[in-house]
């Protein structure tokens, strides 16, 4: 659970709570990043496989497992993969997950296989196969929405995204470019620089084209975005007709908020 408006002290207090407690808070507030696994899915996994994910009830500390601190550190598009893998691993109730995260565009799972009766212990090769199959499936599954995706380096990170989510990533990058180019400027400097204005106009056209490629399901996951307005930005004529005041308002007020929503 993340919130751009949270203070440092609030974030520290949140991180001191268990994974289960954070999921319950997120379910109540709806305060989630697009790149988090949804609270409903987290709680579903904890309810169905409590022994496997027992670290979700452990108090986070330096000595605790990474799972106790970070929980399901993957995006919602991999929920189905994690769910199917969990069902297999939970065949031995002594197993528990120490860490589950995304690393270099691939699901990465560390498991502690403990003892158990012969009837419940999963053979080592089956346990390894269940994890390997899940990790391999993640490499071709969009981490945001679960559609088929490709693994590529985008920006500073390797990510697995489908075409629509790549466009969302590109929109967020366009917002970042606007913010970087107008950082520390005042309106007088912006008004006098046609070069900077053209940078903003070009970024807006890119945002418009990326927005127009979004499927209904993709738009439905981000209901707070005015998609109709963004669609109109793909028309170069419409963007060129924007006044300097409109460009400045978008650069200073709208682009940062849009970028946060897209990320």
97, burial (CB in 10 Å: exposed 0-12, middle 13-18, buried 19+):
buried
pLDDT digits (tens, 9 = 90+) for 225-258: 999 989 999 999 989 999 999 999 998 888 888 8
**Stronger pLDDT, 200 or 5, i.e. the higher one:** 200
Over residues 137-163, the pLDDT tens digits come to 999 999 999 999 999 887 777 889 998
Radius of gyration of the chain (CA): 22
pTM: 0.77
Give the torsion sign (CA, 128, 133, 134, 140). positive
Sign of CA dihedral 217, 218, 219, 223: positive
- Tokens 């300097």, residue located: 244
Sorted by where each begins, the domain ranges of the chain are 8-150, 162-262
* Tokens read off for 59: 């108090």
């Amino acid at each position: 659970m993340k919130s751009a408006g949270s203070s440092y002290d609030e974030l520290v207090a949140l991180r001191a709570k268990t994974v289960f407690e954070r999921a319950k808070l997120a379910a109540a507030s709806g305060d989630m990043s697009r790149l988090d696994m949804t609270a409903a899915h987290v709680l579903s996994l904890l309810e169905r496989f409590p022994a496997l994910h027992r670290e979700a009830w452990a108090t986070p500390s330096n000595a605790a497992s990474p799972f106790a601190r970070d929980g399901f550190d993957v995006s919602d598009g991999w929920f189905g993969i994690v769910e199917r893998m969990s069902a297999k691993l939970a065949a031995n109730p002594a197993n528990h997950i120490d860490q589950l995260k995304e690393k270099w565009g691939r699901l990465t799972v560390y498991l502690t296989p403990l003892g158990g009766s012969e009837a419940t212990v999963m053979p080592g090769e089956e346990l390894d196969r269940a994890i390997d199959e899940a990790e391999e499936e993640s490499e071709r599954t969009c981490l945001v929405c679960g559609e088929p995706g490709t693994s590529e380096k985008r920006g500073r990170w390797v990510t697995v995204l489908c075409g629509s989510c790549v466009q969302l990533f590109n929109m967020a990058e366009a917002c970042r470019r606007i913010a970087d180019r107008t950082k520390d400027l005042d309106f007088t400097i912006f008004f006098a620089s046609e070069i900077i204005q053209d940078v903003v106009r070009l970024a807006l056209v890119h945002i418009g084209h990326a927005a127009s490629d979004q499927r209904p399901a993709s738009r439905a996951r981000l209901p707070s975005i005015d998609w109709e307005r963004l669609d109109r930005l793909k028309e170069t004529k419409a963007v060129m007709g924007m006044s300097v005041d409109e460009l400045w308002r978008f650069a200073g007020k709208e682009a940062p908020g849009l970028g946060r929503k897209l990320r």
